[in-house]
């Protein structure tokens, strides 16, 4: 990565504003943090800054507050961070203004404090220059370590860098290094597994990967649009009718480039997409009954996909193979996670549903890199420059 990181600047005695991604799942009743993965991912940067004498000022959003939602305050996030960090974390009741400045003035080197939810201000998501300026007034240096929001040009992810020297934290450095190498200089064979509901969400990714991968495995609901493009009947499965021609073009382009595209050979079909499904059976991909819905990849597909995955040296996975939240339809996703865990090379899971599937199934420690940002990792895999990274200083 050609961007400066916290290692490249002197932080001692400086007030350092760090944009972290503490947008963690919260228990509806107790408001306690249910999964602290994103907080743990930020620890290396926070510890480094504190140990090197910085006054560490953390800022994040939590959820989608419409105004100042008391249920989305950062208090419990601060408590969780304090426990993980093993040192006090002071939580402030606002993220800009005189009171905040006054409190920050009391900080000593190595202290850590957390500002209130930055999305309590509508100006944040509008990337309002005045709001960005108010955030910038709190610090001498800006560090972006929130890969999960790096694809958004908001005040705390991009705007503030107009007014402060800006560098990357270790998490952003890691995300960009691992995914960047996979895209520019992968060990081969390089295989991409794409799933999830819609082709439209992944068009940019597919087009960027076609020139780079050796094989493309397509599962999830988006596979039905491709099966339709092959002339198969897809029953009541989710098909993006307006993308069928595009799916056909993608397959032709892949073939012209020598990229092998694997589609499901068999699929699990059901009469409903949740636990109440009475009919659940496996059929050949070209024999989906009119009244049933495709909900997962079948065992033959799992076998073929797994063989391709295990033979790879670099694998990128984005999007589940079926409706994995429903136990009956989670087998395909589970088996793909299993195959991925056995790969000897570099394995990357691109955030979102596939990341939670891998974690839920207990394979997280066998994967080289699980991205913390669903949308950000998708845009990165599309080859787009992310606003929150573009604004950082070059080395």
Domain that holds residue 303: 186-381
φ, ψ dihedrals at 51, nearest 5°? -70, -25
Q: What is the 8-class DSSP label of residue 310?
A: H
49-79 per-position pLDDT tens digit: 999 999 999 999 999 999 999 999 999 999 9
Task: Tell me which of 141, 174, 207 is where a domain ends.
Answer: 174
Mean pLDDT for all residues in the chain: 95
Q: Percent of the chain, pLDDT > 90?
A: 86
Q: Which long-range contacts (CB under 8 A, 24 or more apart) does 298-302 make?
A: 298/264, 298/265, 298/266, 298/267, 298/268, 298/332, 299/266, 300/265, 300/266, 301/219, 301/264, 301/265, 301/266, 301/267, 301/332, 302/331, 302/332, 302/335, 302/336
Residue 394 lies in a domain: no
Q: Does residue 218 sit in the same domain as residue 160? A: no
| pLDDT tens-place string over residues 193-211 | 999 888 888 888 899 999 8
pLDDT mean over 137-144: 98
User: Sheet of 346-349: strands edge to edge?
Assistant: 260-262, 215-218, 190-194, 314-318, 346-349, 369-370
Tell whether 180 is covered by a domain.
no
Report the half-sphere exposure of 1 (CA within 13 A, side-chain side).
23
Per-residue pLDDT of 343-374, as tens digits, reads: 999 999 987 788 888 888 889 999 999 998 87
- How much of the chain exceeds pLDDT 70, in percent? 100
Active-site residues, by number, are 38, 198, 352, 375
Asked if the model's pLDDT at residue 94 lies above 90, the reply is yes
Shared-domain flag, residues 57 and 167: yes
Inside any domain, residue 53? yes
Residues 151 and 214 in one domain: no
Q: Which helix (H) or strand (E) holds 112?
A: strand 112-114
**CA 393 remoteness from chain centre:** 23
389 part of a folded domain: no
Q: Could you tell me if 241 and 154 lie in one domain?
A: no
* 292-334 residue pLDDT tens: 999 999 999 999 999 999 999 999 999 999 999 999 999 999 9
Q: Give how far the C-alpha of residue 89 lies from the chain's centroid of Cα atoms, to the nearest Å.
A: 26
Task: Report the C-alpha gap between 314 and 188 in whole angstroms.
Answer: 6
On whether residue 395 sits in a domain, the answer given is: no
Alpha-carbon distance values, 325 to 78, 202, 267, 275, 361 (Å) = 30, 21, 17, 10, 12
Judge whether 132 and 118 are in contact, CB under 8 Å: no
> Are 193 and 261 members of one domain?
yes
The predicted model gives 257-277 an average pLDDT of 96
Using one digit for the tens of pLDDT, what is the confidence trace for 118-134?
A: 999 999 999 999 999 99
- Regarding whether 195 and 162 lie in a shared domain, the answer is no
Q: Does 386 map to a domain?
A: no
Residue 34 domain-assigned (yes or no):
yes
Edge-to-edge strand list for the sheet holding 166-168: 90-91, 112-114, 55-59, 15-19, 141-144, 166-168
The helix (H) or strand (E) run that includes residue 81 is helix 75-85
Give the pTM: 0.88
Same domain, 167 and 201: no
| Cβ contact 72:30 at 8 Å | no
Q: Is residue 140 located within the same domain as residue 244?
A: no
Query: How do beta strands 314-318 and 293-297 pair?
Result: unpaired
CATH number at residue 151: 3.40.50.1260
Residues 277 and 166 in one domain: no
**Domain count within the chain:** 2
* Domain end residue (candidates: 174, 195, 217): 174
Confidence of residue 381 (pLDDT cuts 50, 70, 90): confident
pLDDT bucket at 379, cuts 50 / 70 / 90: confident
pLDDT for 360 equals: 84
> For 9-39, how does the pLDDT look when each residue is reduced to its tens digit (9 = 90+)?
999 999 999 999 999 999 999 999 998 989 9
Q: How does residue 382 score in pLDDT terms, banded at 50, 70 and 90?
A: confident
Last residue of a domain, one of 174, 207, 225: 174
Q: Is 347 inside any structural domain? A: yes
Are 131 and 105 in a shared domain?
yes
Whether the bond between 56 and the residue before it is cis, its omega within 30 degrees of 0, is no
Q: Are residues 201 and 141 in the same domain?
A: no
Q: Are 163 and 274 in the same domain?
A: no
């Amino acid at each position: 990565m050609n961007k400066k990181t916290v290692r490249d600047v002197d932080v001692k005695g400086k007030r350092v504003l760090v944009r972290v991604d503490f947008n963690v799942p919260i228990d509806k009743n107790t408001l306690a943090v249910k999964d602290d993965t994103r907080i743990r991912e930020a620890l290396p940067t926070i510890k480094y800054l504190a140990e090197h004498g910085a006054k560490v000022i953390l800022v994040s959003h939590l959820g989608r507050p419409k105004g100042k939602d008391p249920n989305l305050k950062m208090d419990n996030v601060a408590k969780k961070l304090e426990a993980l960090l093993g040192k006090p974390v002071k939580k402030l009741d606002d993220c800009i203004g005189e009171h905040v400045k006054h409190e920050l003035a009391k900080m000593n080197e190595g202290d850590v404090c957390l500002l209130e939810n930055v999305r309590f201000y509508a100006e944040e998501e509008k990337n309002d220059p005045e709001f960005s300026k108010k955030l910038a007034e709190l610090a001498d240096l800006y560090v972006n370590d929130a890969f999960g929001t790096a694809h958004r040009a908001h005040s705390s992810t991009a705007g503030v860098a107009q007014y402060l020297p800006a560098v990357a934290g270790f998490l952003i450095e890691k995300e960009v290094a691992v995914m960047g190498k996979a895209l520019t200089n992968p060990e081969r064979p390089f295989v991409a597994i794409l799933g999830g509901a819609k082709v439209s969400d992944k068009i940019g990714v597919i087009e960027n990967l076609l020139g780079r991968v050796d094989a493309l495995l397509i599962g999830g609901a988006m596979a039905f649009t491709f099966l339709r493009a092959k002339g198969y009947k897809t029953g009541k499965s989710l098909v993006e009718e307006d993308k069928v021609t595009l799916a056909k073009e993608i397959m032709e382009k892949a073939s012209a480039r020598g990229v092998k595209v694997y589609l499901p050979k068999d699929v699990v079909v059901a009469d409903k997409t949740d636990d109440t499904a009475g009919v659940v059976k496996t059929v050949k991909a070209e024999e989906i009954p009119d009244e049933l819905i495709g909900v997962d990849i079948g065992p033959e597909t799992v076998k073929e996909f797994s063989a391709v995955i295990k033979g790879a040296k670099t694998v990128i996975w984005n999007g589940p193979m079926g409706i994995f939240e429903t136990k009956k339809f989670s087998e395909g996703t589970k088996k793909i996670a299993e195959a991925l865990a056995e790969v000897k090379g570099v394995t990357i899971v691109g955030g979102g549903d596939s990341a939670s599937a891998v974690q839920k199934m207990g394979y997280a420690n066998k994967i080289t890199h699980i991205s913390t940002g669903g949308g950000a990792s998708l845009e990165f895999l599309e080859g787009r420059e992310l606003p929150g990274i573009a604004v950082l200083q070059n080395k």
